[in-house]
Each structure stands twice: as C-alpha cells, then as structure tokens.
C-alpha cells in the first residue's frame, strides 16, 4: 500500500492560503490535515470553522480534521457541514468515545481517534474495530516544529500488533516531527498516513518534498 501524505495546514502561509491550496492541489498529497485548537485542551489557539469552510472550497483533496479541543462531540455536525472527510478526536478529550465515534459516522464522516504521547495504545482495545484511523502524536500537541519523540516508533509497532490481532481496518497516522530522518522509519514500522507541516510547507520545493514522502514504501 502506498503511503498517504497529509500536509499540515498549520505550517502554511496564511497570508497566501489560496496559493498554498494551489500547491496542494498540484501535488501528490492525498489529504490535507487541519489542526483545530481551542487554547484549553492544548496551550494554543489555531483556527476554526470559517477557515475550514474556505479551505474546503479551494482544496481538491479530502480534509483530515484533527480536533485538539474539549468536548469535540459538540461540533460533529458542524465539522461535516464544513467539509471534513475525517473527524479526528482525542481519546483524552472524550468521556463517551464510542458514542462520539458513532455520531461521526452517522454524520457521514470517517472517524479517527488521537492519542497523546503519554497515552498507551492499550486504551484502544475496546474501540479499535470501530475507528477508521488512529493518530499517534509524536510531539506534545499544540505547536508545530517540535522535536520528534523517539518512543513513537515502538508505539506504532504496538498499535500495528493490536490492529492485526483484532482484525481492525484502522489506518495508522503519525503527526509531529515527520521529516527526512523520521519518515522512512515510521513507514517501516507500519505507518499508513504521514502528517508533515514545516517539512513540507517551509521546503524550497514543497511539491518535490511531498513526492519524496509519497515514494516511501513499507
């Protein structure tokens, strides 16, 4: 299976979002990753639904929307209406995770669950067959450009074992510090979807960088 590439909008030039969307549309990127932060669940505020709606109109790639917020279940319908293909919620933010996953599916979106670096893979045992994707944070969420947490490689392997053992169809996505050194090791460990922000958007040639990531094979 080819590696799915989901560049992270957080690292884009917000003064030229139209130009950035043209770059994404002309590239081999499969999805576009959008980080919604509320300043409560994570110590940063990013953007909300007006930006998602605007990007959805300009971007021809499916939107992979990651909600780093408290009570994400309150925004399921709004996320679907704004154009999200996949709604990703944090395990740590959802008291009734199974219900939230059901609501995301009922709204017509794919459902993802995110784990913070310190949250073990084992918490997913009862939900792994119900989700379409698991996102492992390889940095502490809230800011772009952070250093990759090495333990993520082993965590990917443990998640892959859980998926195979349970017969789950969930994809494995990793976000944080994905670049030239870490991307090949992540794919080798079993990652299906690479999220990359600064490494793509700050590159001299973002389209060539996306192409390089896309060539990585298990």
pLDDT digits (tens, 9 = 90+) for 161-199: 999 999 999 999 999 999 999 999 999 999 999 999 999
147 falls in which pLDDT band (50, 70, 90)? Answer: confident
Of 184, 203, 182, 212, which is closest to residue 23 (Cα–Cα)?
A: 203
The pLDDT tens digits of the residues spanning 101-135 come to 999 999 999 999 999 999 999 999 999 999 999 99
Q: Sign of the C-alpha dihedral, residues 60, 63, 64, 69?
A: positive
97 contact partners, CB below 8 Å, separation of at least 6: 89, 91, 113, 127
What whole-number distance in Å separates Cα of residue 62 and Cα of residue 165?
29
pLDDT at residue number 144: 63
Does the pLDDT value for residue 82 go beyond 90? yes
pLDDT at residue number 140: 86
- What are the angstrom distances between the C-alpha of 64 and each of 45, 132, 157, 162, 204? 18, 12, 23, 23, 24
Query: Contact 174/156 with Cβ under 8 angstroms?
Result: yes
85 falls in which pLDDT band (50, 70, 90)? Answer: very high
**177 three-class SS:** coil
12 falls in which pLDDT band (50, 70, 90)? Answer: very high
What whole-number distance in Å separates Cα of residue 144 and Cα of residue 177?
8
Q: Which residues are known catalytic residues?
A: 35, 175
Which residues are paired to 4 by β-bridges? Answer: 193
Does the pLDDT value for residue 200 go beyond 70? yes
- Would you list the domain boundaries of the chain? 5-9+12-214
Does the pLDDT value for residue 142 go beyond 90? no
The pLDDT tens digits of the residues spanning 18-68 come to 999 999 999 999 999 999 999 999 999 999 999 999 999 999 999 999 999
For the question of whether the overall pTM of this predicted structure is more than 0.85, the answer is: yes
218 falls in which pLDDT band (50, 70, 90)? Answer: confident
- Determine the CATH number of domain 5-9+12-214: 3.20.20.70
């Amino acid at each position: 299976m080819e590696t799915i590439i989901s560049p992270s909008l957080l690292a884009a030039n917000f003064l030229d979002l139209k130009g950035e969307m043209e770059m994404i549309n002309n590239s081999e990127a499969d999805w576009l990753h959008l980080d919604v932060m509320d300043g409560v669940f994570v110590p940063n505020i990013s953007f909300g639904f007006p930006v998602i709606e605007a990007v959805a109109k300009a971007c021809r790639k499916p939107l992979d929307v990651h909600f780093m917020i408290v009570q994400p279940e309150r925004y399921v319908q709004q996320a679907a209406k704004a154009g999200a293909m996949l709604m990703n919620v944090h395990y740590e933010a959802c008291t009734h995770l199974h219900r939230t996953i059901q609501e995301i599916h009922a709204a017509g979106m794919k459902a993802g669950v995110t784990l913070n670096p310190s949250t073990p893979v084992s918490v997913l045992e009862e939900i792994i067959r119900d989700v379409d994707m698991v996102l492992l944070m390889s940095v502490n969420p809230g800011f772009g450009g952070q250093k990759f947490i090495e333990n993520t490689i082993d965590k990917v392997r443990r998640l892959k074992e859980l998926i195979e053992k349970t017969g789950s169809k969930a994809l494995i996505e990793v976000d944080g510090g994905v670049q030239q050194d870490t991307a090949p090791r992540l794919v080798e460990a079993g990652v299906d979807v690479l999220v990359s922000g600064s490494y793509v958007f700050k590159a001299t040639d973002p389209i060539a960088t996306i192409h390089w990531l896309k060539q990585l094979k298990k």
